[in-house]
């Protein structure tokens, strides 16, 4: 876990960032710098099996390994005694929602921001692969296969595409158990949507997303029964909206929503 603190004398809050599948904290350098300049501290770590963490790469025993890790980052963020924003991109968005379903009220953040959350895959494995993964999971959970996430495919930005193609820390193989846990987690966020806490939720969704199924994101959003929710789809943008050429526009839209709702958290108490 790392912390990046703003230089502002009166910080506005703390962002906890949860990255997506295969990636790690270094891909968020621009976003972190922008948040610091906007007056926010940032807390972030690498998820189990990814980035600089120890243990088998591309493998988890249970999806709750992720939620436990994020809970620790939220706990650290709360030590600043400031409003806390939980941001999750792609699988990180799925993890963020799953974490909200697990945490007690006082442990939750004040605001939830999701970027192209992985509530269903754009190209899900066919039925034979799904059946095979269920058969292999109890006996060969660590059996690895290609993730089929081509480095750089989530953005139109040429610099990021070249960077990813030369980054050996990106996870390119995942285990049978990892896939089964991901599939069950995606099913859970839809099945348990009625248990989502009543907190402000903001979604930035790529309009030309070829990694997650944006129709599943819209469906989840439409069924979400809370007081404050906002969905913004960005036409033509690829999956990683904050790595696209239009990223400044995406960021300003997100920070506007954040500033408006954190004022309630700061002066009116924790939003539940």
The catalytic residue positions are 90, 209, 239
Query: Cα 201 to chain center, whole Å?
Result: 13
Can you name the residues that pair with 121 across neighbouring β-strands?
A: 212
Report whether 98 contacts 67 (CB < 8 A): yes
**How far apart are alpha carbons 197 and 15 in whole angstroms?**
19
What length is written for the chain?
Answer: 272
Give first-to-last CA distance, the chain, whole Å.
Answer: 26
Structure tokens at 86: 């939980």
Sign of torsion, CA 185 224 21 129?
positive
Helices (H), the chain: 29-37, 64-78, 91-102, 127-136, 158-165, 176-191, 214-223, 247-268
Report whether 136 contacts 176 (CB < 8 A): yes
Report whether 155 contacts 90 (CB < 8 A): no
Q: Which of these, 89, 70, 38, lies nearest to 204 by C-alpha position?
A: 89
Can you name the residues that pair with 7 across neighbouring β-strands?
A: none
DSSP 93: H
């Amino acid at each position: 876990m790392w912390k990046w603190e703003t230089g502002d004398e009166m910080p506005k809050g703390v962002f906890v960032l949860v990255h997506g599948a295969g990636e790690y904290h270094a891909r968020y350098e621009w976003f972190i710098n922008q948040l610091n300049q906007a007056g926010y501290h940032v807390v972030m770590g690498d998820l189990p099996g990814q980035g600089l963490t120890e243990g088998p790469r591309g493998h988890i025993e249970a999806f709750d390994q992720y939620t436990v890790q994020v809970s620790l980052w939220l706990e650290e963020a709360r030590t600043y005694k400031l409003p806390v924003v939980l941001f999750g991109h792609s699988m990180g968005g799925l993890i963020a929602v799953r974490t909200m379903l697990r945490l007690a009220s006082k442990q939750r953040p004040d605001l939830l921001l999701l970027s192209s959350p992985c509530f269903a895959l754009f190209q899900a494995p066919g039925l034979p692969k799904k059946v095979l993964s269920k058969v292999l999971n109890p006996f060969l959970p660590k059996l690895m296969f290609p993730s089929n996430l081509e480095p750089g495919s989530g953005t139109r930005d040429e610099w990021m595409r070249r960077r990813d193609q030369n980054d050996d820390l990106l996870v390119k193989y995942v285990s049978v158990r990892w896939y089964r846990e991901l599939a069950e987690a995606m099913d859970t966020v839809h099945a348990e949507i009625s248990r989502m806490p009543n907190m402000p939720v903001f979604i930035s969704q790529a309009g030309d997303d070829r990694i997650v199924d944006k129709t599943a994101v819209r469906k989840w959003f439409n069924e979400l029964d809370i007081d404050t929710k906002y969905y913004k789809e960005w036409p033509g943008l690829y999956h990683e909206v904050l790595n696209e050429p239009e990223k400044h526009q995406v960021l300003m839209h997100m920070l506007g929503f954040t500033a408006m709702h954190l004022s309630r958290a700061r002066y009116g108490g924790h939003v539940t």
